[in-house]
Amino acid sequence: MDDASTKAKQSLTSWLDIPDDSDFSIHNIPFGIFKTKSIPPRCCTAIGNYAVDLVVLAEHGYFNSEDISSITFRHENLNEFISLGKEKTNKVRERLIELFSQDNNELQRKRDLHPFVFHKHDQVTMMLPVRVGNYTDFYSSKEHATNVGSMFRDPNNALLPNWEHLPVAYHGRASSIVVSGTPLIRPKGQFKTSKNDALPTFGPTQSLDYELELAFVIGKNSKIGEAIAIEKTEEYIFGFVLFNDWSARDIQSWEYVPLGPFLSKNFMSSMSPWIITTEALAYYKTKGPAQDVQVLPYLRFEGDANYDIELEIELQPEGEQATRISRTNFKHLYWNVRQQLAHHTVNGCNVCVGDIMASGTISGPARDNAGCLLEQTRNGQEPIIINGVPRKFLHDGDTVIMKGFASKDGQRVGFGKLEGKVIKAKAVDD
C-alpha cells in the first residue's frame, strides 16, 4: 500500500485527452462492466470520457501474460476477475496505466484499433459491476447515529451504550441492489401517520429518503471460523463504490424495534457502476475522528485508516435543474473500514468475493453535511427549500444524484455519478 501511495505521487500524464475535472484520470483506472447494442456485457476500465473494452485489449495481446486473456474479461460481472487476486488485478491496472501514459506508444500508434477499444460513456450501458452474495450495512457515522438517536428515541441518550465499543451493523438484502440509473418505485408498507395513532395504516411511504454511503467490495474469500485480523483487512478489500441506501422513514420508525430495519430498507439500494480500487485511493488516506473510548484490542489499528473523499448530493425535481443540497466527506466516518471488517469476521463469519459492506449514512458536523433528508429536515420538522419549494422528503419525479471524488496535488480520483429517480407507487390493484 505504501508502494501504491508513493507511485501515485509521481504525476502521470496521458496521450489521451482527459479533462482536468475528470473523475477518471490516469491515476484512477477503475473496473466496471459495460454493454452496447452490439457488444455483450464485459469488463472495462474508464479513462477521461471513455469506457475501455478490456476484451479487445486482451485479444490484441496487450497484457502479455499467460494468466490474462480475453476470457478473463468476458463475464457479465467482475467476480471472476476479482477472484484472480490483488497481485494479478493490480498488474492489469498497472499495465493499463502504462498503456495510457504519455511516453508509451504501444496503443497510441494503433489508431485503427481505437474505435473498438474506446467508447464514449454516453454510448455504453453500465451494468451492476459485481454479483452480490451478501450485503451488510454499517452505522458508522457518529453524527448520523447521534442525530437519528435523538429523533427516534431520546436526545439525552442518543447513542446506545454499545455504539462507541463496536461498529453497529445489520444484514441487508443483496437481491435488490441495483446499478445507478435504475428507477425506484415508491415502496408501500405499514406506518403510523402520527405518533398519537393507535393503529398503523398501509400505503405508499410518506417519508421516502436517501442515504449517502460509500461501500467496499470484498476482494478475497475468507473461511468460516477464521477472523480477519485488523492488519490484514486491506487484503480483502478490492475497492469502493458510491451507495444509496434508499429508506422509508415512516415504515422504519414503526418496524425497527426490536430487530432493526427490514422493509424500510430492503426494497432497493443503488450503487455506482465503477469500482475504485483501494490502490487508487491509497494516496488519499487520512486520519479519522479521535476515538475517545478505548476499543478492545481486535479493533485497534495503526496509521491512517480513513479516506479524504469529498461527497455531494444533488436533488433534481421533475423537469427542473439539479440543486446541490449537501456536501460531506468520507473522512468523518468514526468507525473505519478496517475496523468494520475485523468486527464483521471476529466471530468466525466468512466473507465472499463480491460482498458489499456499506458504511452507513455519512454525515458531518454541520447541518448541510447531512447524508439524508431525515437529518437535514429534522424528520420533516424543518423543510429545506429547493427551487422555491419547501421539501421534507422525496417527491415522485425527484432524481437523487450522488458524487464523490478525492483530490490532492492536482491528482483527481473520482467515482462518477450515482443517480436514481423516484417513480410513483403502483396502484394497489396493479
Binding site for Mn ion (CB under 5 A): 137, 211, 245
Q: For Mn ion, which is the closer residue by CB, 127 or 179?
A: 179
Amino acid at 34: F
Alpha-carbon distances, residue 68 vs 54, 90, 91, 93, 304 (angstroms)? 10, 12, 10, 12, 33
Q: Give the shortest CB-394-to-Mn ion separation in angstroms.
A: 15
**E runs forming strands in 317-369:** 323-329, 356-358
Closest CA to 284 of 264, 259, 304, 299: 304
Closest CA to 129 of 281, 400, 371, 353: 353
Q: For Mn ion, which is the closer residue by CB, 211 or 355?
A: 211
Closest CA to 284 of 214, 229, 353, 344: 214
Pairing of strands 269-271, 177-179: parallel
Q: For Mn ion, which is the closer residue by CB, 230 or 374?
A: 374
What one-character DSSP code corresponds to residue 200? -
- Identify whether 144 is a catalytic site residue: yes
Q: Give the shortest CB-138-to-Mn ion separation in angstroms.
A: 8
Output the nine-digit C-alpha cell for 384: 429545506
What one-character DSSP code corresponds to residue 34? E
Q: Give the shortest CB-13-to-Mn ion separation in angstroms.
A: 39
Query: Look-up: residue for cell 423537469?
Result: 319
Q: For Mn ion, which is the closer residue by CB, 54 or 362?
A: 362
- What residues contact residue 173 under an 8 Å CB cut-off, 6+ apart? 135, 265, 266, 269
Whole-angstrom distance, CA of residue 180 vs CA of residue 404: 14
Q: Which of 144, 332, 343, 344 is catalytic?
A: 144
Q: Check if the beta carbon of residue 310 is closer than 8 Å to that of residue 102.
A: no
Alpha-carbon distances, residue 411 vs 27, 197, 253 (angstroms)? 7, 54, 43
Q: For Mn ion, which is the closer residue by CB, 245 or 375?
A: 245
Output the nine-digit C-alpha cell for 93: 491496472
Question: Within a 13 Å sphere around the CA of 276, how many CA atoms are in the beta-carbon half?
Answer: 31
Q: For Mn ion, which is the closer residue by CB, 160 or 389?
A: 160
Q: Check if the beta carbon of residue 206 is closer than 8 Å to that of residue 191.
A: yes
Whole-angstrom distance, CA of residue 410 vs CA of residue 8: 11
Q: Give the shortest CB-371-to-Mn ion separation in angstroms.
A: 9
Whole-angstrom distance, CA of residue 104 vs CA of residue 109: 9
Q: For Mn ion, which is the closer residue by CB, 83 or 150?
A: 150
Output the nine-digit C-alpha cell for 76: 457479465
Q: Check if the beta carbon of residue 195 is closer than 8 Å to that of residue 321.
A: no
Q: For Mn ion, which is the closer residue by CB, 70 or 328?
A: 328
Q: Is 72 helix (H, G, I), strand (E, B) or coil?
A: helix
Q: Give the shortest CB-383-to-Mn ion separation in angstroms.
A: 22
Output the nine-digit C-alpha cell for 163: 455504539
Amino acid at 396: D
Q: Give the shortest CB-244-to-Mn ion separation in angstroms.
A: 9
Alpha-carbon distances, residue 281 vs 48, 170, 185 (angstroms)? 17, 26, 34
Nearest residue to Mn ion on Cβ basis: 245
Residues recognised as catalytic: 144
